[in-house]
Chain A
Amino acid sequence: MTWTRRDFVRTGSAFAAAGMLGLDGRVFTDPYAAARGHRAFRPLLQDPDARAIAMTALQAARDVGAGYADVRVTSGVLRQTSVSGRQIGLRRIAGSLNFGVRVLVGGAWGFASSTIFTEDEAARIARLAARQASENPWSRLETIELAAAPVVADGQWETPIDLDPWNYSIQDQLELQLEANELVLKIAEVGRPGLQVFSSFGFSMDDVVFASSEGSYTRQRLHNFAGNYVAQVISRDRRNFGSSSPGSFRTGGYGWEAIDGIPWAGDVEQSVEEAFMMLGAREPDVGRYDVVLGSGAVSSILNSTIVRALEYDRMLGYEMHAGGTSYLGPPEEALGQFSFGNPMLNVRATGSVPRAAGMYKWDAEGVAPQDYQLIREGVLVDYFTSREFAPHLEWWYKQSGMPPGSRGTSGSAGTTVTQVVAPSIAVMDPGEDDVSVEDMIAATEDGIYFRDGGFASVDPPMLNMQGSGSGLIYEIRDGKLGDLLSRPQYLANTIDFWRSMDMVGGEDTFGYSGGGTIKGNPPQQIVRTVGAPAARFRNLNVFTYGRR
């Protein structure tokens, strides 16, 4: 019996009728069962289902002459709760079940995806992708050839976590969240009027299958905890605003341990104190300052001005009309030659950082992320690439004795959208000497210290930046911290900025922060992690936009 897609949406029960499976009532072949002890909550994707979808799509792609095809299938669940004070704002559980098929036909890409989980739909989607490619008039002009990559025939991986969040209920999650909020509310009640607390917790688990026409078949179960926990206060005249989050509140590749026992409870009082301190901050005097950035601020500026500029497709102009281009090109002029003029700047990519948000074992093309150097002693030596773009760099890899092939940095915001080049985990190396933030402050006469996170507005080629900070920002006078400052902004040319870096913190100043990229059409936000030490930058132009 064959079912058309139309029949499917009419009856809504074609799953069973067409021989595709409902998720309940079947023996679940959990590849991770041994490692996990027992299952709770719900079975995610059953492998026979995913395999059937994948193999059907791959076969359909082959049948219409695809030279290459890959299928990605996601079955996921996300549990989100938000609480403002004692008021619950959101209790939400969202499941996802979808797949995307990418094909190379006549040397051009096609991509299609669907949430209708039948074999007929898998075949239609594969053919649709093939048709896009075959009707692309450029397909035969400059054909795409993929870099060779090892076949992973039976890969399995799961984000390592301590406590399975799906052994707990949404009520358990809310109980803990209310308890956590109460820590701030208690402080508010003893003489801190105007203090508010907001928290949002989200646990996700995604089973992602990758299958390619070359014979790769991998299954990954990706766990993530995303959220925030913020104490905020507004001055009585509403002019000033303070907000702070405990430093020990963590997000990323965590299970229930992220919130179990409220690990950040001991930092709440300090955090509230800091939110109030921000109310007293003053605006800086315009001028030139040496700027000391904490790890979070360096990570964020690194992400905005270097990490995203290293995306090979962006450098080629794929984002020219949207997010912008990159100053780190063209490769034949830039690789081995472009220099920030600062040997202290060393940036590398890595695939493996415990607990990092966005970590994976195989990328969106089934390639394991490599540990490799991007910028060595201030000089550009490699990009974030993919199997499509790696062959462009073969000349360079040969010339410099580097291994050819994709670096395993293809990604996407889910399997309903096509793969793009996405950074893996980018790391700026700490200095070899044991320089502390205190050392940097002590060595600074007239400066500003951005202790916490930061952000930068960059122009489309990422060459001109305006940096700023969140959290506590201090002036530095004669080697000591002075007043708290409100809204200082520093302006710089990206290259001058990194060249001006004259002190790099040691291992003890190093930390990881959120990073990632936004690109593509439809726009994809891909969450990743960036690591950096603290550092000092000389003689930056600081101003404030003030108020009117």
Chain B
Amino acid sequence: MSKRTSRIESARTDAARASVPGANTGEILTKDEAEAIARKVLEFADPAADTVVNVQLSNAQNTRFSRNEITTQLDASLGQVTVTSMMNGKTANGVTQRFDDDGLMEAVRWAEDATKDGPGEHGTSRLVQPRDYPVPPGLWSEASRAVDIEERIERAVSAIERTDGFVSAGTLDLTVASMLVANSAGLVGYCRSTNGSLSLSARTSDNTGSGWAGKAIYDFDDLDGSAIANRATDKAERSRGPQAIEPARYTVILEPDAYAQMIFFMMQYHMDLASAQSGFNVWAAPGGGTKIGQQVFDDRLSFVSDPMDAAGPFCPFNPVGVPFNRTYWVQDGILRNLSYGDDTAVERGEDYPLANPVAVRLQPKEGTQLATLDEMIATCERGIYVTRLTTLFADFRLLVFTGVTRDGTWLVERGRITRPIANMRYVDSHMYFLNNLEMIGEPVLTAGGSFVLPPVRSRDFNFTAIADAV
């Protein structure tokens, strides 16, 4: 035990003595509690209006550390009620953080007043009819709900202690949340979730090596702080003393977290049908219309959103109760679906819109030979292994990104990692590298949550410059 660690031990004993009684983390709403609030809103609402109410209460917890010490922490109990009122051919929202009658009434009044007079031309949507939603397995964990400050700090400390001899910074987050949606047609849906993550980066003391690792969890018991720290410090150690290589097009081996942000940007900003039809997103076809039905990725790849996803479950409905069903946006490389609103649903004879959960799995086709990262390296003649990329839009409409590699980048030669290399800038996109695919691995939940992505090996990734700072 290092001197520092023993000092921590004795400080901990002091801390236990100083512990504050009666200061527990907050609770979320049960279905009955949330429904009671929603029922009040529906009672306050004008019977002539179609009304939807969404009640949320979450407890966000965070322990943050830098320079191998816990620096700031947070416990936030955040409640919010959103009232959607549809009347006179208009739709409006009133939002409040208050759960008392006056607060709820105020939110109802805001929404309804906004639908009463004034200009129109804002279509209303049909209410989602009463239905049962499935309960995604694994989305809720009692172990996570029960986590208290002491346990949270213990887990962070277990990671920080493993970074002795390195400079580390990171964050442990856990959010316990409840959401209920109800409407004046009698719909009631309730969902509760526990989402957490621990991520950290570690630097060697000479500041030439940096490594990052992170993991998202639903069940707090799955969060192994020391394993995450070990991965980060191992990468830091192995990336020490990097040397620059000529920027050019290289084969890349990308860890899933390296390109998760690109997938987020696609799902967040580019999945709307109307926008594709009018030419504003990446799925607009050059001559008009959309690319639906066209091959857009390697035919081994599908993008599928499913609240029941075993690795990445999510709440099975959107804030107004539109169900999220298993949806293939891209199937075997072909663009199949883009999200649409109720107007289009009516035209198509559907009961409700196709909503986008901004959570997706990149699934290899059944029968595809899956490779581990080690196998991708072992069979690579010459390439670059990338842990992590920064990601910023270079072109929003074409979904092209730029950024730099960070926290561990290596040269792979004749089947093995030969040396760490200096960070490089890239200009590229998954729109390209998922069409230059050489190998694909088993999809895993990425550290930011929401995205279940495989490691990939792709040709001709476009490195444009050296960015040799650590």
**A interface residues with partner B (beta carbon < 8 Å):** 5-6, 8-10, 12-16, 22-24, 42, 64-65, 86-98, 100, 105-106, 108-117, 121, 124-125, 127-142, 169-172, 174-175, 178, 196, 232, 234, 237-239, 241, 316-322, 324, 327, 416-418, 455, 457, 459-461, 463-464, 466, 468, 487, 489, 491, 520-522, 543, 545, 547-548
Contact = CB atoms under 8 A, between A and B. Distances in A.
A127 B462 CA distance: 52
Contacts of A111: 72-75
27 contacts: A12-B40, A15-B100, A15-B102, A87-B122, A93-B92, A93-B114, A94-B94, A95-B106, A97-B103, A112-B76, A113-B75, A115-B79, A125-B75, A131-B19, A135-B19, A137-B70, A140-B15, A318-B66, A320-B201, A321-B170, A457-B394, A457-B425, A489-B402, A521-B64, A543-B464, A545-B394, A545-B395
B18 A457 contact: no
Interface residues of B, number: 114
Contact of A132 (B37, B73, B95): B73
A65 B18 contact: yes
B25 to A, nearest CB: 7
A178 B119 contact: yes
B2 interface: no
B23 A457 contact: no
Interface string B367-395: 00000000000000000000000101011
Contacts of A137: 8-9, 11-12, 15, 70, 153, 157
Contact of A234 (B118, B279, B287): B279
B292 interface: no
B171 to A, nearest CB: 4
Nearest to B175: A522
A194 to B, nearest CB: 8
A475 to B, nearest CB: 20
Interface in B413-446: 423, 425, 427, 432
A113 B25 CA distance: 11
A43 to B, nearest CB: 11
Given A91-B91, A416-B78, A521-B62, A457 B71 contact: no
A441 to B, nearest CB: 26
Interface in B391-415: 392, 394-395, 397-398, 400, 402-404, 406
Ordered nearest first, which 10 A-B pairs have the shortest CB separation?
A171-B118, A127-B23, A94-B95, A88-B122, A464-B467, A22-B102, A93-B110, A91-B92, A320-B169, A321-B201
Given A5-B27, A109-B73, A457-B392, A139 B404 contact: no
Given A9-B29, A127-B22, A132-B149, A320 B99 contact: no
A95 B95 contact: yes
Nearest to A463: B469
Given A457-B390, A491-B464, 8 more contacts: A10-B36, A15-B98, A22-B103, A124-B23, A136-B73, A140-B14, A320-B203, A457-B403
B23 A128 contact: yes
A109 B425 contact: no
B93 interface: yes
Contact of B66 (A22, A87, A172, A317): A317
A141 B469 contact: no
A124 B75 CA distance: 11
A10 B120 contact: no
A490 B106 CA distance: 51
Q: Which of A121, A125, A239 has the most CB of B within 10 A?
A: A125
B398 A547 contact: yes
A91 B8 contact: no
A12 B99 contact: yes
**Could you tell me the dominant secondary structure of chain B's interface residues?**
mixed
Contacts of A463: 467, 469
A116 B99 contact: yes
A27 B115 CA distance: 29
A321 B169 contact: yes
A95 B390 contact: no
Interface string B188-206: 0000000000011101000
Nearest to A314: B66
A135 B27 CA distance: 21
A24 B102 CA distance: 7
B100 A13 contact: yes
A324 B90 CA distance: 45
Nearest to A20: B100
A323 B76 CA distance: 22
Nearest to A456: B392
Contacts of B306: none
A183 to B, nearest CB: 16
B20 A127 contact: yes
